[in-house]
Amino acid sequence: MSLFSWLFGSKSSAASAPATAAETYKDFSITPNPIKEGGHFRVAAKIEKDGKTHELIRADTMASLNQAVAISQSKAKQLIDEQGDRLFG
């Protein structure tokens, strides 16, 4: 496996965990979508508003899916608070 595949993941080695329900926060839709990597889950979420989408993928990994979902929601909310609509531009 190449260094970049290991660092950033590849479709063959990293499978998404089952998607969880979307949550609305300040008119944005947040869908936590942690990425399963070995025995851990990478923090990730899809942020949507007005037909625009931003994929949030963090370097953080968690041991449990529930913890990864909670952190994914928290990080997405933090990004929305910091960036707002600039997130898509």
pLDDT per position as a tens digit, 57-89: 999 999 999 999 999 999 999 999 999 999 988
Structural domain includes residue 4: no
44: left (phi over 0), alpha (psi -120 to 50) or beta: beta
The number of distinct structural domains making up the chain is 1
Is the pLDDT higher at 16 or at 51?
Answer: 51
Instruction: Answer whether residue 68 is part of any domain.
Output: yes
What are the pLDDT digits (tens) for 1-46?
455 554 555 443 445 555 578 999 999 999 999 999 999 999 999 9
Residue 41 forms part of a structural domain? yes
Does residue 45 lie within any of the structural domains? Answer: yes
* CA–CA dist 89, 85 (Å, integer): 7
User: Does residue 8 form part of some domain?
Assistant: no
The reply to whether 51 falls in a domain is yes
Q: Which residue has the tokens 């994929």?
A: 55
Range of the domain at 62: 29-89
Residue 87 lies in a domain: yes
Sequence-distant (6+) residues with CB within 8 A of 23 are 29, 30, 31, 32, 73
- Within-domain flag for 10: no
